[in-house]
Amino acid sequence: MSHSLLLNLRGLACGYQDSRVVQDLNLHLNAGDIGCLLGSSGCGKTTTLRAIAGFEPVQAGEISLAGAVISRPGFTLAPEKRRIGMVFQDYALFPHLNVADNIGFGIRRHPRLREVVDELLERVNLKNLGKRYPHELSGGQQQRVALARALAPEPQLLLLDEPFSNLDVELRKRLSAEVREILKARGTSAILVTHDQEEAFAVSDHIGVFKEGRLEQWDTPYNLYHEPLTPYVASFIGQGYFIRGQLLDHDAIQTELGVLRGNRAYPGPSGSAVDVLLRPDDIVHAPHSALKAQVTGRTFQGASTLYNLRLATGSQLEALFPSHVDCMPGDEVGIQVAAEHLVAFPASGSVQASRATAL
């Protein structure tokens, strides 16, 4: 697989009329990779996708695809000339065309039309449904038809705008894994927009976390979780709480849970205040530990149970215990910190207000 640069966004700003929704955006995607724009509603991810598609002009910077500039201020290459495919949230299938004709719509003059459509039907697991109409299909099947139709013209880049949001949770999980498999098997480069982290992690090689029109970090899912660059990324990706600490040394932090040592250096002078992110898997059940916490809530998850805990100081934590550890709200439990890889930032504001949450 080629790892040459396919899509490049440099100093991009875009929005509507005089307002800038997205500012100073820089990111790139290599050929064959799947990227994701992740963030809460209104953060600019869909505006960025529409600019890449050619539906929105850009106000500053430029977008290039395979080395050619396709958008800059005053110039927007028409969407149909971009070799970019699009899968919309509502699938946008033609109700009067059957599945095979929907898939072949964009390549009606292709000399091997029937062959290409049959191959795509097989690829998206709809081999025997070519003669059905969209209203006769389930939501998941309609989504596969929309994907096959977008892939038929062999776009250089595929854009997917919240493609699974109309589906139930189990189907979303299954389909997001399937879509990744289909794109990887064809070597198709893609960018997905979602507000769902699980979906982003399941599909993507690189994820961009957006906050209020700015890209906070563009990185692998692993690095976003373990090496977040900003407190926002740390709190947006995964779960957990920040607790206040004091830097003793470049790799040791004094907290109400004792001295925590990490396997990397933390910036700042000794004695400075820091906020340390503790995720549920950093807190382990230790019945004989002198460190105690009170259970304030629990969510059974099958193999494990997620506990909400409160320390004597009032600080809150979350912990993931094996499901055979059965504690009830009000119980006191022994805990210890097992976090080799600490995530810490210079202290800011009220620490308990900055709860880390998964959306």
Which pLDDT tens digits describe the chain residue by residue (359 residues)?
446 999 999 999 998 877 889 999 999 999 999 999 999 988 999 999 999 999 999 999 999 999 999 999 999 999 999 999 999 888 889 999 999 999 999 999 999 999 999 999 999 999 999 999 999 999 999 999 999 999 999 999 999 999 988 888 888 889 999 999 999 999 999 999 999 999 999 999 999 999 999 999 999 999 999 899 999 999 899 888 999 999 998 889 999 999 999 887 787 888 999 999 999 999 999 999 999 999 999 999 999 999 999 999 999 999 999 999 999 999 999 999 998 888 999 998 654 434 544 33
Task: Please report the pLDDT score of residue 84 as a whole number.
Answer: 97
Q: Which of 171, 182, 191, 151 is nearest to 63 (CA)?
A: 191
Q: How many CA atoms lie within 13 A of 213 on its CB side?
A: 12
3-state SS assignment for residue 170: helix
Task: Please report the pLDDT score of residue 349 as a whole number.
Answer: 65
Structural domains of the chain, ranges and CATH numbers in brackets: 5-226 (3.40.50.300), 239-356 (2.40.50.140)
Q: Which of 236, 194, 189, 187 is nearest to 82 (CA)?
A: 189
Cα–Cα dist 77/336, whole Å = 58
Contact 190, 160 (CB under 8 A): yes
324 class by beta-carbon count within 10 Å (0-12 exposed, 13-18 middle, 19+ buried): exposed
Cα–Cα dist 52/190, whole Å = 11
What one-character DSSP code corresponds to residue 61? E
Contacts of residue 220, defined as CB under 8 A and 6 or more positions apart, other chains included, come to 205, 206, 207
What one-character DSSP code corresponds to residue 188? -
